[in-house]
Amino acid sequence: MSPSDYAIAIDVATRFLDDQSVPEDGRFVFSYTIHIRNRGKVPARLLGRHWIITDANGKIQEVRGEGVVGEQPWLRPGDDFEYTSGAVLETALGTMQGSYDMLADDGTRFDAPIAAFTLSVPRTVH
């Protein structure tokens, strides 16, 4: 087996939730929708997640947990899974990055890295 047998593609779309945010109290709520696709050659299950969330003050929140949104999706090659979750920051700008803990059907465990993406209130980033 080669590393390309274990390939997970991850795309992210973010949104600022104005109706749930209270900027004067340092509460900025964001949603993010993650699209996961198994581009490898081996079916794999998403066992867990690890997030590093950093706000504009440099405050870091680290989140680890089982699955995503209460599920541990099993993806055959070419399969997709999409979910939406959220994050609350104390600033109007922040970043998230992390990885998914994956288990291939052949018993191989591997990390699917999630590249850093930005959470920002519209018109905050110039």
CA 29 to chain centre: 15
Predicted confidence (pLDDT) per residue in 61-71, tens digit:
999 999 999 99
Query: Quick check: helix, strand or coil at residue 19?
Result: helix
pLDDT given for residue 58 in this prediction? 97
Per-residue buried b or exposed e for 94-126, using 16+ beta carbons within 10 Å of the residue's own CB:
bebebbbbbbbeeeeebebebeebebbbeeeee
User: Above 90 in pLDDT, residue 126?
Assistant: no
User: Above 70 in pLDDT, residue 49?
Assistant: yes
- Residues forming beta bridges with residue 114, ordered by sequence position: 98
pTM of the model: 0.92
For residue 80 the two structure tokens come to 């997709």
Average pLDDT over residues 5-30: 97
Average pLDDT over residues 39-45: 97
User: Above 70 in pLDDT, residue 108?
Assistant: yes
% of the chain with per-residue pLDDT over 70: 97
